[in-house]
Amino acid sequence: MKSFIIIGTAGHVDHGKTELVKALTGVDTDRLKEEKERGISIDLGFAPLHLPGGILAGVVDVPGHERFVKNMLAGAGGVDLVILVVAADEGVMPQTREHLDILQLLHVQKGVIAITKVDLVDEEWLMLVEEEVRELLKGTRLEGAPMVPVSVVTGQGLEELRQHLAQMAKEVEPKPVSGPARLPIDRVFSISGFGTVVTGTLFSGKIKLGDVVEILPHGVQVRVRSLQVHGQKVEEACAGQRVAVNLTGVEVHQISRGDVLVTPDAFVSEKRLTAFLHLLPRVNRNLENWQRVRFHLATKETFGRVRLLDHQQLRPGEDGFVQIELEEPVVAAVGDRFVLRAYSPVTTIGGGEIIEIGGPRYRRFRTWVIEHLERKMSGAPEDKIAEELQRLKRPVTVKELATRTGMNDEEVKEITARMEKVGKIGAFEVSGEVFLVSVSKIREWQETAVNALKEYHQHYPLRLGMLKEELRTRFFDFLPPRFYQLLLEAWVKEGVFVFRDQAIALPDFSAGLTQEQEKIFEKLLAKFQENPFAPPNEEEVMALLGKEGSELLQYALQKGFLVKLGEGLYFSKEAISRAWGVIENHLQQHQEITVAQARDLLGTSRRYCIPLLEYFDREKKTRRIGDKRVLYKAKASK
């Protein structure tokens, strides 16, 4: 099986990058008319490269001119290794240094140095240039990288360069093919008869023919009509490949470089990023708080402002935690590398690693914030997951946790399963999806609920407990309703709370009356016994109960002493039982009863009789047929 890697070029303008790529691949990557006329690369170029050992690489040829560094950045984000090109006749130049800085900031780990145009210089000059390059690379990730003198005119060094690239390609760590797909778009165009086509390097996951994918940040869902990898039609593209995707359901003008093709609902686009930033030593001024910058991530460029969280100002060569407030949303993953360029003059000033996507706006110079970010950035995978779960106020799915920690789904499942086993994480399955939450967070929620119920029982001693929905809306409205119900059931199973109908209470709580309340309550029941089928109205009841009327009335209803038949109308349970005895006896003898008959039998009025009969209908004791009632199970008479 062939391996797939991405090789990028870097170097100063007119140092021979495009000619070198052409000599290696046979493809002229200067595709624009202006590029042909001016003899320099303006935009990204791409070409397939077959290396020894069955390795198929995609070469990204980037422009070297300082005006087009932003285009270089669009192509550098997904490279696995780099060919740093230095022309023998000119040596190290400004864009050589800036491109090397960018490679450092993006953590490109491997590369080969190609000293081009060696046919134009003598041996002594070549040795001086090589020494200059070695000095430039000291302290960088490319220090000690192979250095190959090359001439595209004579063919010198081309085979040696291929061999070095092939050897390094074997050492490249594969990009994750599991998990959601993410393809930052670097080109958008239309082909007659096919429609919209986008290209890019697939950072993670897979894209298959017929897949429904999403274009962020627009949130537009489209279908994959066809796929090409290095010019060949395929049914599936994998992470690490250069991919051209023919899409249906979207027009060219709706997409632009910097948009991202993703698995639906797997990524979010945000304007706030929390990051660890390194300011390049060679910049000539400090980075001030709230300074406006140009932000580059993968193929996206936008403007933003930098909030320094642990520095008054960042000096050249210093590192710090920052929050970047962007003017446009970007699609990012934890661990992504980014580059910052000055707003004016436009030069590369620094870059770093994304720690959080979205999230709260942190206050500056807070110790707990810095400690939290340090744990998230450098902690072990289990520590990162624990930190994320503890910070979040709500439960999260495996997919969301993977996005927030920069891990893949399988890695998160494996780690959280271990954490659940040792009692660090609680897992709740809701509608087929598992939600995770730290056990310490569950304890916090439990303490909140216990304190809320203690206070509730003190204020409302006559109520059976707080309604479950009231507890949720007051204290746990951030929890999905089904998750909340499962959490309550778990607490009840542990004996922390008890259910009482639709209410929840502490297990040692029992609703009861004081001696004074008992006396009032006895007067209330006596009032209902005076004329059981013509009971007192609500106004009379409240006058009798006094200042605690609402609570005492609620208590009477909860305990079943009284039954509410309608708005402002209550009957004693005893009266209802007696009324049913009278009506049932009549129905057994006569099979049916009218309102007038019931009224006369009970010695009351229609005002009370009709609600009573309707109550028996609701309780399925009687069934109304026309203006008469029959026993619920009886058949209507013909």
Contact 145, 318 (CB under 8 A): no
Domain match, 166 and 23 both: yes
- Of the ranges 34-48, 505-519, 529-543, which one carries the lowest mean pLDDT score? 34-48
Domain that holds residue 301: 269-370
* Mean pLDDT of the 238-261 span: 93
- Of the ranges 81-85, 194-198, 484-488, 505-509, which one carries the lowest mean pLDDT score? 194-198
Contact 60, 46 (CB under 8 A): yes
Domain match, 132 and 158 both: yes
Neighbours of 272 (CB within 10 A): 19
What pLDDT, on a 0 to 100 scale, did the predictor assign at position 38? 35
Domain match, 531 and 605 both: yes
Mean pLDDT of the chain: 90
- Is the pLDDT assigned to residue 368 strictly greater than 70? yes
Q: Which two tokens stand for residue 120?
A: 């134009």
Backbone angles phi, psi at 343, to 5 degrees: -65, -45
Backbone angles phi, psi at 410, to 5 degrees: -65, -40
Return all residues near 589 (Cβ < 8 A) that are at least 6 apart. Answer: none
What is the enclosing helix (H) or strand (E) of 602?
helix 595-602
Domain match, 60 and 130 both: yes
What pLDDT, on a 0 to 100 scale, did the predictor assign at position 37? 40
What pLDDT, on a 0 to 100 scale, did the predictor assign at position 406? 83
Domain match, 21 and 124 both: yes
What pLDDT, on a 0 to 100 scale, did the predictor assign at position 127? 97
* Mean pLDDT of the 419-435 span: 91
The 10s digit of each residue's pLDDT in 513-570 is 878 888 888 888 899 999 999 999 988 888 888 877 788 888 888 888 999 998 889 9
* Mean pLDDT of the 243-266 span: 94
Burial 329-341 (b: 16+ CB within 10 A, else e): bbbbbbebbbbbb
**Alpha carbon separation from 139 to 133, 171, 184, 317, 499 (Å, rounded):** 12, 21, 31, 13, 66
What pLDDT, on a 0 to 100 scale, did the predictor assign at position 463? 84
Using 50, 70 and 90 to split pLDDT, how confident is the model at 467? very high
Burial of 480 (0-12, 13-18, 19+ CB in 10 A): middle
Residue of 183, 185, 204, 201 whose CA lies nearest to 407: 204
CA-CA-CA-CA torsion sign (358, 364, 366, 370)? positive
Query: Within a domain: residue 376?
Result: no
Using 50, 70 and 90 to split pLDDT, how confident is the model at 32? very low
Amino acid at 538: E
- Among residues 262, 286, 319, the one where a domain terminates is 262
**Alpha carbon separation from 299 to 44, 191, 269 (Å, rounded):** 11, 22, 14
Query: Within a domain: residue 437?
Result: no
Query: Within a domain: residue 475?
Result: no
Neighbours of 154 (CB within 10 A): 10
**C-alpha span between 496 and 140 (Å, rounded):** 59
Domain match, 523 and 622 both: yes
Contact 127, 376 (CB under 8 A): no
- Among residues 228, 262, 296, the one where a domain terminates is 262
Q: Which two tokens stand for residue 254?
A: 């709706």
Backbone angles phi, psi at 401, to 5 degrees: -65, -35
* Mean pLDDT of the 256-265 span: 94
What is the enclosing helix (H) or strand (E) of 278?
strand 269-279
Residue percentage of the chain with pLDDT more than 70 = 94
| More reliable by pLDDT, 75 or 628 | 628
| CA trace torsion 3, 229, 18, 149 (10° rounding) | 10
| More reliable by pLDDT, 85 or 388 | 85
Domain match, 33 and 90 both: yes
Query: Within a domain: residue 505?
Result: no
The 10s digit of each residue's pLDDT in 539-550 is 888 888 887 778
The domain spanning residue 278 has which CATH number? Answer: 2.40.30.10
Ordered strands of the 498-500 beta sheet: 466-467, 503-505, 498-500
Domain match, 149 and 284 both: no
Query: Within a domain: residue 341?
Result: yes
Domain match, 305 and 334 both: yes
According to DSSP, the β-strands at 236-238 and 212-216 are unpaired
Amino acid at 521: F
Domain match, 533 and 613 both: yes
**Alpha carbon separation from 510 to 407, 521, 526 (Å, rounded):** 49, 17, 25
What pLDDT, on a 0 to 100 scale, did the predictor assign at position 544? 86
Query: Within a domain: residue 129?
Result: yes
Contact 536, 528 (CB under 8 A): yes
Query: Within a domain: residue 506?
Result: no
**C-alpha span between 8 and 142 (Å, rounded):** 14
SS3 assignment, position 165:
helix
Helix 468-475 × helix 439-459 angle, to 10°: 120
* Mean pLDDT of the 572-579 span: 96
Domain match, 546 and 614 both: yes
What pLDDT, on a 0 to 100 scale, did the predictor assign at position 634? 62
What pLDDT, on a 0 to 100 scale, did the predictor assign at position 74? 64
The reported pTM is 0.75
- Is the pLDDT assigned to residue 34 strictly greater than 50? no
Q: Which two tokens stand for residue 407?
A: 């891990």
The 10s digit of each residue's pLDDT in 221-231 is 999 999 998 77
Q: How many domains is the chain built from?
A: 4
What pLDDT, on a 0 to 100 scale, did the predictor assign at position 63? 64
- Among residues 213, 239, 262, the one where a domain terminates is 262
What pLDDT, on a 0 to 100 scale, did the predictor assign at position 39? 40
CA-CA-CA-CA torsion sign (395, 386, 332, 45)? negative
Contact 533, 602 (CB under 8 A): yes
**C-alpha span between 399 and 412 (Å, rounded):** 8
- Is the pLDDT assigned to residue 208 strictly greater than 60? yes
| More reliable by pLDDT, 377 or 291 | 291
Domain match, 206 and 156 both: no
- Is the pLDDT assigned to residue 76 strictly greater than 80? no
- Is the pLDDT assigned to residue 68 strictly greater than 60? no
Start-end of H helices in 232-276: none
Q: Which two tokens stand for residue 104?
A: 């450092």
* Mean pLDDT of the 158-174 span: 93
- Is the pLDDT assigned to residue 578 strictly greater than 70? yes
* Mean pLDDT of the 65-72 span: 54
Return all residues near 613 (Cβ < 8 A) that are at least 6 apart. Answer: 583, 595, 598, 622, 624, 629
The domain spanning residue 127 has which CATH number? Answer: 3.40.50.300
Give strand pairing partners of 304. 293, 326
Query: Within a domain: residue 165?
Result: yes
CB hemisphere CA count around 272 (13 angstroms): 8
Start-end of H helices in 379-429: 381-391, 398-405, 409-421
**C-alpha span between 79 and 144 (Å, rounded):** 19
* Mean pLDDT of the 443-454 span: 96
- Of the ranges 28-32, 72-76, 181-185, which one carries the lowest mean pLDDT score? 28-32
- Is the pLDDT assigned to residue 44 strictly greater than 50? yes
